[in-house]
Structures are given as structure tokens and as C-alpha cells.
Amino acid sequence: MQYEFITVEGNIGAGKTTLATKLSHHFQAKLVLEEFADNPFLPKFYENQRQYAFPLELFFMAERYKQLQEMLLQKNMFQQITVSDYLFTKSLLFARNTLSDDELKLYQRLFDIIQQNLIQPQILIYLHAPLEKLQENIRKRQRAYEQKIPDHYLQSIQDTYLQYIKQSNFPVLFVDASNADFLTTDLHLQKITDALEKRYTPGVHTLLLD
């Protein structure tokens, strides 16, 4: 295994948590999952984005920072590999799509201060899926507050992610997840685990599952 800190990212409904959980089991790794359900502003945000965007993004950033700091402080010597289902920079990427210009300036300042204390993943697995697939997965998991997420919001998040990974300074494994099924298709998971046996240079590297 070439990496000790692996992060899985992608749009809402891309399958991040499922893949991260499968990878942690495969590699017997420590699993760090985003605790989105603890954010009291999330259901309110989907009802009134303008009013609740700033507290929503602040809460997420604080919780992500707390989790990743604890991960560093409590690193288990028997679990040399850590798999996370989110990238800390996700906080800023989402903020760029939800905050006003003045709010974003303040958020950016806070983000820059906090990020200095965190480490970057050694490799990022980015799951890319079309909007139809994302909406299908969102419907299947039946979280009530997600059911009215519009396509244009998902597209804006998608565009922001794609712009970010093109400029990344660490390896990105770009996975076409259009037909991905990590729960029931062992071959899809195997292709990911096989790919993680290789050492990649910084930049984007494409992986096809089919």
C-alpha cells in the first residue's frame, strides 16, 4: 500500500461514504466520516439557502477541523492507514457556491488560518457522476431535506470541484462513477484498491471502472 492518508471526494450523492467505508474495511484502516447529520443548519439551509448558508458553512468547517485534528492527535499505531470521506478544502469549495461576496471574504480568512494546522491527503479519490446519477442516489438514500436539491446547485458544486482538482498539488484519482456500485460489485472496489498500489505524481489520473 502506497498511501497512509486517503481521501474520497465527490458531489452530493456520488458515493463517497460507501467507498470510504469499503476501503477502510479492505485496508483495515481508520475511518473518518463527515458528521453531516449533526449540523443543525442543514435542513434549514435547503429551505432557505440565503439565510442559513453562512452558519451552515461555519459549522461544517469547525466540525471538519475538529475531526481532522483529533485524527492527527489520536493516530493509532496499529492503524497506519486513514481513509476520510471528505477533504477539508471542501468547506471553502461549498462556501464559494453559497455565500455572498462579503461573507466569503470573512470565511476565506478564517479558512486560511485554520488550514495551516492540517495536513493534506496523500491521494484524493474523486468520484465523478452525471447529475442524473447523483439525483438517483439522493432519492435512494431518502434524506427528506435533500429531495428538493435542484440540478443547478449540483452542477455548480460539480464545476467547483473540477476546477479545484485541476489545480491540485497532490495526486488525484479521477474515477468515472457513472455506473459505480461499490456495495454489490466487487470488481469496482478491486479496481480502486489495485490503483492505490501505484505511486502517482501530483495531478489528475483517470480511472475507468468498466
Mean pLDDT by 10 residues, the chain (210 residues): 92 95 94 86 90 95 91 66 94 94 96 90 96 94 88 95 93 94 90 95 92
Distance, in Å, from the CA atom of 122 to the CA atom of 103, rounded to the nearest integer, reads 31
Distance, in Å, from the CA atom of 151 to the CA atom of 141, rounded to the nearest integer, reads 17
Catalytic-labelled residue, pool 38, 85, 101, 186 = 85
Specify the pLDDT at position 76: 57
Specify the pLDDT at position 183: 85
Specify the pLDDT at position 22: 96
Specify the pLDDT at position 75: 63
Specify the pLDDT at position 79: 62
How many helices and strands, by DSSP H and E, does the chain display? Answer: 8, 6
Specify the pLDDT at position 149: 92
In the residue annotation, 85 being an active-site residue is answered as yes
What residue type is assigned to position 91 of the chain? S
- Domains annotated on the chain, with CATH: 5-208 (3.40.50.300)
CA angle 135, 137, 138 (to 5 degrees): 60
Specify the pLDDT at position 78: 53
Cα 84 to chain centroid, rounded: 8
